[in-house]
Amino acid sequence: MPEADATWRLFVAIPLPQRVTAAVAEIQAGLQRLVSQAQIRWTPPHQFHLTLRFLGEVAAARVPLLQTRLENACAGCPAMPLQLQGLGFFPHDQRPRVIWLGLEGQLNTLHALQQAVASAAAEFAEPDTAPEKFSAHITLGRIKFLSPRERSTLVQSAAAWKPAPPLGWLAHRVQLMRSTLGPEGAHHECLAAWNLVPPPGTPTNHGTCPQPL
């Protein structure tokens, strides 16, 4: 049982299948070789995910209610096909701070799910955690320092990159994650999970947290 005044750092995300995680790790490794001298905090492959909503610090005592709200938000939402598409940077390629891998597919369905999740979690989230606009992406790394030459190399390589062949999957699961910060980086723990409405004949497994195959 958590202490009465404990808070947990939480976010809601869609996990990646193992084969997609492996493909994203290969893309990341290629970028690492291009800018091996740069100061970049690369996302560990086991932490690749698609963030729907970062909540920040939430009172642990309120997590059961949050889980109920998220379960209700996900109920009836359909699973959706997505695929990897395009590399980019936040805030932009002239001053890159985050390297991301973009997605395409049924983005309208994804945006509707994200809005449902964000609405359900609104009262639990810290006020300054709401993004100006949802952008479907997988974070590959956070840039601390790049030389002008490294930035040029990275930006040109990102602009030229295309998945071959296109890699897609059915995004069918939403997870509530706890992130614990430590000296070696963040540790992620799944607190609860909900399957989206699958195509006919697909088995469901609500409430448990293993990564999908």
Q: How far is CA 90 from the centre of its chain?
A: 15
Q: Contact at 8 Å (CB) between 80 and 169?
A: no
| Residue found under tokens 């990564």 | 211
Q: How far is CA 193 from the centre of its chain?
A: 14
Instruction: Write down the pLDDT at residue 213.
Output: 41
Instruction: Write down the pLDDT at residue 212.
Output: 45
Q: Contact at 8 Å (CB) between 90 and 96?
A: yes
Which tokens sit at 35? 């800018």
pLDDT in tens, 67-95: 999 999 999 999 999 999 999 999 999 99
pTM for the model stands at 0.91
Q: State the 10-residue block means of pLDDT for the chain, 213 residues long.
A: 80 97 95 90 96 96 98 96 95 93 96 97 90 91 93 93 87 97 88 92 59 45
Q: By C-alpha distance, which of 114, 89, 112 is closest to 99?
A: 89
Domain 7-195 annotated CATH 3.90.1140.10: yes
Q: Is the peptide bond before 200 cis (omega within 30 degrees of 0)?
A: no
Catalytic residues: 49, 137
Phi, psi dihedrals of residue 153, rounded to the nearest 5°: -60, -45
